[in-house]
Structure 1
Amino acid sequence: MKISINRLKKYIALTETPDEIAALLTQSGLEVEGIEEFVSIPGALEGIVIGEVLTCEKHPDADKLSLTTVDIGADEPSQIVCGAPNVAAGQKVLVATVGATLYPMEGDSFSIKKAKIRGKVSEGMICAEDELGLGTSHDGIMVLDTDLPNGTPASELIPVTRDYVLEIGLTPNRADAASHLGVARDLKALLGRPLCIDQTPELEIEGGRKKIEVSVENAADCPRYAGIVISDLKIAPSPQWLQDFLRALDLEPINNVVDITNFILHDLGQPLHAFDADKISGDKIIVKKLSKDAKFITLDEKERKLSGEELMICDEEGGMCIGGIFGGKGSGVSDETTSIFLESAYFSPDVIRKGAQFHGLKTDASFRFERGTDPNMPVYALKKAVKLLQEIAGGKVSSEIIDLYPNPVADFEIEVEYGHINRLIGKKIEPSQVKSILEGLDIRVENQTELGFKAIVKPYRVDVIREADIIEEVLRIYGFQQVELSENLKTDYLAEHPLKDLNKLQYRLSELLGAQGYQEMITNSLTKPSYVEKSGFLDSMLNVEIYNKLSEDLGVMRQTLLFSGLEVLAHNINRRQTDLKFFEFGTIYQKGEEGYQEGRRLAIFHSGNRSAESWIEPAKPFGFADLYATVEQILEKLNIQIGEVEMMESSPFAYGLSLKLGTKQLGVIGLVDEKLLKLAEVRQEVWYADLDWDLLCKKASGLKRYQEISKFPEVRRDLSLVLDKSVSYDQVKQIAIKAGGKLLQRVGVFDVYQGDKIEEGKKAYALSFYLQDQENTLTDKVIDKTMSKLINGFQNEVGALIRM
């Protein structure tokens, strides 16, 4: 669910940054999964200024080009070569200055550079509508009617909407927060600030009356049904503010009537549906169920067989709409529509859920109805929509509001004890603070005593019906982070959680590594003191010395598995066994301030060639990627996700990586420094990984996560990035994960280039991005938008040059 920060500010005064608002909402249970910046015009017209064409002559070497001089407010006029047929002296125009980036309606973005065109210098570009992303016209340049001075930024003439949009992973129980008003209610309680909600508009009948009779056959399926007739409508595109609001939420504007219904749905959480009033047979609307296997054609022009259980909105001839789910083809608003019947209802969640599942339809309306909307909202939302129809579409009210609500839904009454609040939260919260929090959430506190009170909850909070729910509301606003952990903290589980068998865990990994051609080794825990003294990365003060040592070569306990492993490699290499893959589970020892310490490690060694030479291909030596792939397989087997990855250019490596898991180091991996190889008399390259086996065992999970294979196809898109050599692939990957969101399934590298074809100090990555939606087939628009986010992320965060 997407929420506009600009729209939230209409309900509550917000001075916090989008990140701060996201953190507040996440702490209170509305998890913000991402923040996107929305700009109504791509590029926000940066670098575009108002200019005046001073002179315009034919280009001496091109019949279809003009040579102009343009005043853009600089000390000297700019010479610009223009290909538009309508350019002329005296015009006010929009000019893209050198360095500006244009985002045309079609094709890729491009930057304006000072260039020579047919031998003449051109210092900018006079722009057409489509070149600026303002429309589709390419008949000629835009000619302005303005008195603004030359050099004025174009954004002062053409307003640019900037917004931040929160992506909230709404849990099924929080149906009340499926709107901007719902999110604003939580912020009201969190920040202690009042909401600014418009008063219920008053409506008066203006045009000729038109009566629509409404009947509901089963009030249990449709407890409330409201509607009104609006006439004299003029179907047209919506004003820019409304289009920008919808586009910020990834909705495509259609026309003013449909856009208003979508606005109300996302603003107030109340779905509306507009019927063409002239297409309602008999001027009657009947809310009922039709017979099983009856056929109905929906807006997407598909013929559907009804189950007989879905709620239908009908006229005298038959169905017009699957109630609360999807409209019908024959009764919808078209360009010829002049009057509508606007529906606003409260449907039974069970009926809507069954109908949506039967037809496999997931709409914004069904999403809300099947979770539970506010039964007190239909008439207010209807009046708000009518006011907008009057302002935007010229509509006139032609009937009274019809409101069938025979059995109003009562507020929930819940008895609450303070002792239960303090016991479940684990901290005593003062009654005055409890009351303040609940009233901030529009939950009334009545009959308050020393022991407890009665909570009166409005029916839009379908998830707050028990005492435990009230306590949860108090806790999420009070703040989980404010409840201190007890020294004797313990947890009880309903299910049994057997202890991990560490021997089995080690055996599973041994099988994994053995299947890939690794040999297991077991080496001596005693080692040479000289390794520590000469290595440069170990501390001799931490040595655990042996008092009754058998020899000086076995005088201390090892601090690392590296040197005992290198000795095994040297032994094999000296006997002409040069292509080696070893691993070892072993213990290391150190002396600390609190006594002796032990730690278990997993060491992996590569040396020599990963494939022998043959008539098909030459020998291929081991590389970093081979060892890193093995480490990834180990972590995948244990269900562990790597956190941060940092570069290392110090002992024991010539170069390598440090792998983090949260704040703790999971291990290191890299090419062993040549001076350390000499200590163990190893005469060829060695790749080495040292993993913290204790930490791996602690974080390992035996639980596998499965999900249904998507029915929808995967899409691949490729990009080539030119980057500074200092930028790591992990940085690029993290940017991609953040920008790609849920659609990005994985990232791959299929080429890396460093050489004389690109600038010195640079490298090029050829990356593949695999996109997939688990619920829908990806459209070109969605794919292009996702790729634009990726491109912007790479450009803004690591200064990447994109090569298509």
Structure 2
Amino acid sequence: MKISYQWLNQLVSLTEDPETIGKILTGTGLEVESIEKIESIPGGLEGVVIGEVLTCEKHPEADKLSLTTVDAGQAAPLNIVCGAPNVQAGQKVIVALVGATLHPASGEPFTIKKAKIRGAASEGMICAEDEIGLGTSHAGIMVLDTDLPNGTPAVTYFGLEADYQIEIGLTPNRADAASHLGVARDLKAVLQRPVQWPSVDAFQVDNQNLSISVSVENSEGAPRYTGLTIDGLTVAESPDWLKQRLRAIGLNPINNVVDVTNYVCHELGQPLHAFDADQIAGGQVIVKTVAEGTPFVTLDGVERKLSANDLMICNAQEPMCIAGVFGGQKSGVTAQTTRIFLESAYFDAAWIRRTSQYHSLKTDASFRFERGTDPNMPVFALKRAALLLKEIAGGTVSSDLIDLYPNPVSDRRVPIRYRNVDRLIGISIDRPEITRILESLDIRVADTTDDGFTALVPPYRVDVEREADVIEEILRIYGLDNVPLSDYLSADYLSETPETNPDQLQGRVSQLLAANGFYETMTNSLTRPAYHDAVRATLPNADVPLLNPLSEDLSVMRQTLLFSGLETLVYNVNRRQKDLKIFEFGKVYSRSDERFYERPRLGIWMTGRTQSESWLTGGQRSADAAVSYHDLAAVVQRMLTLFRIKSTDSQPADPGIFQYGLTLLVNKKPLVSLGLVKAGLTKLVDLKQPVFYADFDWQYLLKLYNGKVEFEEVSRFPEVRRDLSLVLDTGVTYAQISRLAYLTERKLLRDLNVFDVYEGENLEKGKKSYSVSFILQDPAQTLNDTVIDKTMNRLMSAFERELGAVIRK
């Protein structure tokens, strides 16, 4: 729900800024989710003030220019060169000071700077209405008739002070707060300031020219129904003040009649509906249900089949409106409407909720009715709307105010015991303070004794039914922060950095890999010396031989998991299982200067195809279905995500083991190497198909694990994508592009991705082309073209300067 700060200020006098009001409302249970500044015109006329032309004479070098001195409330008069034909000494004018950014009615915004015009200094600008976005005229400067002092902000003169949109995450139980008046009631209780209700004292019936009979056949669905007619009005555009109020809460103005009903709905929380009186057949309004399946065309032009449980507003012949939900197309107000029947009702929440869900219709009216509105508000809201319509649309009240309310809703009586108030709140609040808080919330206190009292809850507080509810009202206004913690209060200590459990993490990794189609293996730690001889240059230390080996093939402890996995693969391939994905948690062993080392590792192997033969692939072992480097890289990335490792550096993988691949580093220390195993190594185990292998330093991976989960608010503002085509030397890697991009743009860059790579005859030798997408997003505002272009220009300059990129534009 969106609330206007300036609108709220009309109902309860506010001296606090919007941020403070937001904190107060959140403390009362109306959680403020955001506060956004709303400007009537772009820029809000910041730096634009009222000035007075002190002197004016012709420019000696230009016939159409004048040299003026202007008192703009600064320390000294300003020298301003003006080209307007109507500028004269003694005028009150609009002055844009140096540094002000103007948003003209047409064209791009521009900033006022000190300048020399035909040799004369100019320290500002005297403005025409189109130059500050208030109109389209450029015939001359604006000449004001005002006694406001020089230097007064222009927004004060024009009544264009900035508003603030306060968005409240309204919980379903707080139907009473679904309006500016409802929010003002809470502020009244906390700030102890009166609510300034709009006056309806001027309401009167002008004549009896348009009489419409009203009957309610279903009083269960419509316990109270009120209405009146207005004749001789003119449907037109709403005045600026009304349009500004609606836009401040995210509504688009439509016409003065509809805008008034929306205004009163959001001001008082009472939905209204205006019918074109000339479309009310027979001059009758009947509140009833109709036959199941009756067709009805709503305002959006959609024909709907009505339910027998839909409460309808009908005329003598047909339905006109789905009560409390949506109007009908035939009876709606149009530009030709001159007479209306204005409805203000109290509908049963269950009836409206059932109909709204049945037709999947959610409107401002149904939002309020289905949660529960104030049965005592319809008449006041009707008078308020009638006075506004007479003011801005003309016309006269042409019938008596009809009020059908056969069974008035009484205040709810809730017995309260002081001992329960003290027990649930945790402290004893002074009894007079309890009374003050409740009565400030319109909950009267009666039958007071030493033990308790009876709370008389007004019917608009649909959420206050029990003793605990009343006590909650006392606490939220008294303030949770004002309830001190007991000296004896204690709690168990929960460490923010619990000790990492290696077994649990290993289990989670196993689950992750198994969920992606991998099988876990367990192999012998003994291996053949010939394997180590083949990769001797890559091994960090000497072998650990057995003193009494059982065979020459199993005479040393393994220094790498690679060959254990390759032997497992070849065993299965020889048994016609060619599409394999396996992993192993194992230890490797080495020695140096008579010191022996045992280190845990995690190995992952992939070979064959990504999926088995099936009719979807035509039963063919197509090349595009073969496992690739990127399939393994995706699995590694999932592992890093599981361990909440956000960034890594990279370097080419060890060429002694990998034909190609990468080693990922964290804090300059290797974490995992992955890539295609050299064909000479697979040949050692007599394996004739390519194998992709990843080797994790498991001990280091455990050390990097961050058990804390971090959350951030999902941005309300959209992402923007921009693409670049970069021609680079073949030695430049994507990691270099990514690292440079994030260093260049730390605030707005959210993600980047290479979506195409090209090397071929259209590029010179030693060059390649990367097509890169950049995702930009500002968490605080919607990005405009100026900011986006500046950001992309910085990135392009960095790529050209640091990487020697040629950018295709």
CA contact (8 A) 2:718 2:782 kept: no
- For residues 749-788 of structure 1, the aligned pairs below 5 Å read 767-769=775-777, 786-787=782-783
Give the secondary-structure state (helix, strand or coil) at the position aligned to 1:236.
coil
Cα gap change, 1:511 to 1:375, in 2 (>3 Å): same
Once the two structures are superposed, residues 181-217 of structure 1 have per-residue CA deviations (whole angstroms, 9 ceiling, x without a partner) of 1111111222223322245525322245211100111
Normalising by structure 2, what TM-score? 0.62
Cα gap change, 1:333 to 1:510, in 2 (>3 Å): same
Bigger Rg, which one: 2
Which of 122, 142, 145 is residue 144 of structure 1 equivalent to? 142
Q: Which amino acid aligns with 1:173?
A: N
Cα gap change, 1:468 to 1:89, in 2 (>3 Å): closer
Give the secondary-structure state (helix, strand or coil) at the position aligned to 1:419.
helix
Query: Is residue 751 of structure 2 the alignment partner of residue 748 of structure 1?
Result: yes
CA contact (8 A) 1:274 1:341 kept: yes
Distance 1:604 1:101 in 2: 62
Deviation at 1:244, TM superposition (A): 1.5
Give the secondary-structure state (helix, strand or coil) at the position aligned to 1:232.
strand
The residue that corresponds to 2:438 in the other structure is 438
The residue that corresponds to 2:579 in the other structure is none
Cα gap change, 1:490 to 1:330, in 2 (>3 Å): farther
- For residues 212-291 of structure 1, the aligned pairs below 5 Å read 212-291=212-291
CA contact (8 A) 2:299 2:328 kept: yes
Q: Which amino acid aligns with 2:142?
A: L
Distance 1:431 1:748 in 2: 59
Once the two structures are superposed, residues 237-282 of structure 1 have per-residue CA deviations (whole angstroms, 9 ceiling, x without a partner) of 2222222211111111222222211111111100111112222211
Deviation at 1:9, TM superposition (A): 2.1
The residue that corresponds to 1:73 in the other structure is 70
Cα gap change, 1:219 to 1:514, in 2 (>3 Å): closer
The residue that corresponds to 2:643 in the other structure is 634
Deviation at 1:352, TM superposition (A): 1.0
- For residues 304-315 of structure 1, the aligned pairs below 5 Å read 304-315=304-315
Cα gap change, 1:490 to 1:290, in 2 (>3 Å): farther
Distance 2:435 2:419 in 1: 15
Q: Percent identical across equivalent pairs?
A: 47
Cα gap change, 1:320 to 1:72, in 2 (>3 Å): farther
Deviation at 1:310, TM superposition (A): 1.8
Q: Which amino acid aligns with 2:667?
A: L
Deviation at 1:463, TM superposition (A): 0.4
Q: Which amino acid aligns with 1:29?
A: G
- Considering only aligned residues, what root-mean-square deviation do their CA atoms show, in Å? 5.4
CA contact (8 A) 1:186 1:441 kept: yes
Distance 1:728 1:161 in 2: 40
Cα gap change, 1:20 to 1:114, in 2 (>3 Å): closer
Deviation at 1:31, TM superposition (A): 0.4
Q: Which amino acid aligns with 2:144?
A: T
Q: Which amino acid aligns with 1:33?
A: E
| Structure 1 residues not aligned, in runs of 5+ | 61-65, 493-498, 521-569, 585-602, 606-618, 621-625, 637-641, 646-652, 654-668, 675-686, 708-712, 734-745, 752-764, 772-783, 796-803
The residue that corresponds to 1:155 in the other structure is 155
Cα gap change, 1:90 to 1:445, in 2 (>3 Å): closer
Query: Is residue 463 of structure 2 the alignment partner of residue 463 of structure 1?
Result: yes
Query: Is residue 720 of structure 2 the alignment partner of residue 717 of structure 1?
Result: yes
The residue that corresponds to 1:507 in the other structure is 506
Q: Which amino acid aligns with 1:634?
A: F
Cα gap change, 1:375 to 1:490, in 2 (>3 Å): farther
Once the two structures are superposed, residues 572-598 of structure 1 have per-residue CA deviations (whole angstroms, 9 ceiling, x without a partner) of 667999999xx99xxxxxxxxxxxxxx
Q: Which moved more, 1:314-323 or 1:142-151?
A: 142-151
Deviation at 1:283, TM superposition (A): 1.2
Give the secondary-structure state (helix, strand or coil) at the position aligned to 2:182.
helix
Distance 2:384 2:370 in 1: 23
Give the secondary-structure state (helix, strand or coil) at the position aligned to 2:643.
helix
CA contact (8 A) 2:212 2:285 kept: yes
Deviation at 1:467, TM superposition (A): 1.4
Distance 1:70 1:252 in 2: 44
Once the two structures are superposed, residues 782-804 of structure 1 have per-residue CA deviations (whole angstroms, 9 ceiling, x without a partner) of xx984469979x99xxxxxxxx9
Query: Is residue 320 of structure 2 the alignment partner of residue 317 of structure 1?
Result: no
Distance 1:413 1:343 in 2: 31
CA contact (8 A) 1:372 1:460 kept: yes
Which of 732, 735, 750 is residue 747 of structure 2 equivalent to? 732
Deviation at 1:502, TM superposition (A): 5.6
Query: Is residue 432 of structure 2 the alignment partner of residue 429 of structure 1?
Result: no
The residue that corresponds to 1:682 in the other structure is none
- For residues 522-541 of structure 1, the aligned pairs below 5 Å read none
Distance 1:179 1:300 in 2: 25
Distance 2:260 2:358 in 1: 29
Distance 2:303 2:374 in 1: 32
- For residues 600-639 of structure 1, the aligned pairs below 5 Å read 633-635=642-644
Cα gap change, 1:146 to 1:11, in 2 (>3 Å): closer
CA contact (8 A) 1:222 1:346 kept: yes
Once the two structures are superposed, residues 481-526 of structure 1 have per-residue CA deviations (whole angstroms, 9 ceiling, x without a partner) of 333445666899xxxxxx999666423454489799xxx9xxxxxx
Q: Which amino acid aligns with 2:439?
A: E
Distance 1:634 1:500 in 2: 14
Distance 1:210 1:274 in 2: 15
The residue that corresponds to 1:671 in the other structure is 667
Distance 2:744 2:422 in 1: 49
The residue that corresponds to 2:397 in the other structure is 397
Once the two structures are superposed, residues 449-501 of structure 1 have per-residue CA deviations (whole angstroms, 9 ceiling, x without a partner) of 22222111000000011112112112212222333445666899xxxxxx999
Deviation at 1:44, TM superposition (A): 1.4
CA contact (8 A) 2:717 2:782 kept: no
Once the two structures are superposed, residues 292-320 of structure 1 have per-residue CA deviations (whole angstroms, 9 ceiling, x without a partner) of 22222222222222223222111122122
Once the two structures are superposed, residues 669-725 of structure 1 have per-residue CA deviations (whole angstroms, 9 ceiling, x without a partner) of 973599xxxxxxxxxxxx9899786x82xx669xx99x9xxxxx99642489xxxx9
CA contact (8 A) 2:45 2:155 kept: yes
Cα gap change, 1:90 to 1:221, in 2 (>3 Å): same
Distance 1:767 1:70 in 2: 50
The residue that corresponds to 1:448 in the other structure is 448
CA contact (8 A) 2:49 2:152 kept: yes
- For residues 470-549 of structure 1, the aligned pairs below 5 Å read 470-486=470-486, 505-511=504-510
Query: Is residue 299 of structure 2 the alignment partner of residue 303 of structure 1?
Result: no
The residue that corresponds to 2:690 in the other structure is none
Deviation at 1:364, TM superposition (A): 0.9
Distance 1:119 1:629 in 2: 67
Distance 1:50 1:199 in 2: 34
Cα gap change, 1:718 to 1:125, in 2 (>3 Å): farther
Deviation at 1:126, TM superposition (A): 7.8
Distance 1:438 1:306 in 2: 43
CA contact (8 A) 1:670 1:689 kept: no
- For residues 158-173 of structure 1, the aligned pairs below 5 Å read 158-173=158-173
Cα gap change, 1:575 to 1:191, in 2 (>3 Å): farther
Give the secondary-structure state (helix, strand or coil) at the position aligned to 2:332.
coil
Distance 2:333 2:241 in 1: 22
Give the secondary-structure state (helix, strand or coil) at the position aligned to 1:301.
coil
Normalising by structure 1, what TM-score? 0.63
Cα gap change, 1:688 to 1:731, in 2 (>3 Å): farther
- For residues 579-598 of structure 1, the aligned pairs below 5 Å read none
CA contact (8 A) 1:181 1:267 kept: yes
- Aligned pair count reads 600
Once the two structures are superposed, residues 737-774 of structure 1 have per-residue CA deviations (whole angstroms, 9 ceiling, x without a partner) of xxxxxxxxx943569xxxxxxxxxxxxx9643499xxx
Give the secondary-structure state (helix, strand or coil) at the position aligned to 1:73.
strand
Q: Which amino acid aligns with 2:355?
A: G
Distance 1:70 1:512 in 2: 81
Cα gap change, 1:787 to 1:579, in 2 (>3 Å): farther
CA contact (8 A) 1:310 1:322 kept: yes
Q: Which moved more, 1:32-41 or 1:216-225?
A: 32-41
Deviation at 1:630, TM superposition (A): 6.8
Deviation at 1:99, TM superposition (A): 3.6
Cα gap change, 1:575 to 1:18, in 2 (>3 Å): farther
